[in-house]
Amino acid sequence: MFSAIGASRQGPAVDRACPAAWLDEVVDAGKLKVLFLCTGNSCRSQMAEGFTRALKGELIEAHSAGIAPGKLDPRAVRAMAEEGIDISSQLSKHLDELAGVDFDYVVTVCGHAHENCPVFPGRARIVHVPFDDPPALAAGEADDQQALQHYRRVRDEIGAFVLRLPDSLG
């Protein structure tokens, strides 16, 4: 699993400090509620939600949303299926659709979402963990297999990040 993990990847940029004691308190109270936020909620945030549900579902209640949602990217679905994770039933949704959820963490996975991230009420901590945009990278490729290589690389980087959750949040 994750054969092409980006070993040189740095840890997340934490916007608001999260003391370890606070994280322990949240985990002891039940599952962490984590939102993965991206612009379109079509690829990176969907992959992060899928990985988190599959690998960390006992610890984390994962959600994803976008600030300008599009449609679920079929190549993201294919790349995740290669790892045995089915995200085909996940839907792209606007952040407003999750307004009633009191998140512990909001993880922005792209620069645009990070720069335009709204203020979240309550105790939500914002963590920025940028990942490359597979559709943008794949746009110039000659065939589908070459395009999928970008999705696989980013998928593996997201998977490596999720495997380190919740420690990688603070």
What CATH code is assigned to 13-165?
3.40.50.2300
Residues forming the active site = 38, 110, 117
Among all chains, which residue has been given the structure tokens 């960390």?
56
Instruction: Report domain extents, the chain.
Output: 13-165
Rounded mean pLDDT for each run of 10 residues along the chain, 170 residues in total: 34 40 52 96 98 97 96 98 98 93 94 78 88 95 95 98 93
Task: Select from 106, 116, 131, 118 the least CA-distant residue to 16.
Answer: 106
The C-alpha atoms of residue 28 and residue 22 are separated, in whole angstroms, by 10
Residue 19 CA to its chain's centroid (Å): 22
pTM: 0.83
Among all chains, which residue has been given the structure tokens 């490596």?
160
